[in-house]
Amino acid sequence: MVSNVSIAALPLSLQEMADALGVAIVLKLIAAYGGAEISFPKHPDDSHPILLALGKDDGKALCAYLAGELIYVPHMRPRKSARMDVLALQDEGKQRREIARMLGISQRHVRRVANKPETPNQFKLFED
């Protein structure tokens, strides 16, 4: 992530958080959990994944700010077609949250791609 990002350049859903806690914390959150839905505990212990990913002070500040909430963290990466990758990773037995993090896309997009049926009248460019 670029460290000189302004609040206005962030997704609308994170701008208020950046104003309250600082852009640096929001960028850490995006880097660690972009594309995922995250639940924030009211009282995390020191071994909680959010505290480990963001650092103890930043993680506790974020958990205090979002106590008990579930939010979607945008990933801020450019769009790309990921259908083949999603389906291949799903066939390997990967969980959708893991696929989203591996490919840098949202869990919602993984779910949409995985649940979308193939178009029967569309020719394949490559053989399997």
Q: Can you give the pLDDT at residue 102?
A: 86
What are the boundaries of each domain within the chain? Answer: 7-73, 83-115
Q: Can you give the pLDDT at residue 92?
A: 94
- pTM score, whole prediction: 0.61
DSSP helix/strand/coil, 100: helix
Q: What is the mean pLDDT of the chain?
A: 87
- Confidence at 2, pLDDT banded by 50, 70, 90: very low
Residue range 20-53, pLDDT digits in tens? 999 999 999 999 998 889 999 999 999 999 999 9
* Residues 1/27, Cβ–Cβ less than 8 Å: yes
Residue range 94-113, pLDDT digits in tens? 999 999 888 888 899 899 98
Residues of the chain with pLDDT > 70, as a percent, come to 87
pLDDT at 79 over 90: no
* Residues 51/59, Cβ–Cβ less than 8 Å: yes
Residues whose CB falls within 8 Å of the CB of residue 104, separated by 6 or more in sequence, listed in order: 34, 35, 75, 77
Q: Can you give the pLDDT at residue 73?
A: 93
pLDDT at 124 over 70: no
C-alpha torsion angle, residues 3, 8, 68, 32 (rounded to 10): -30
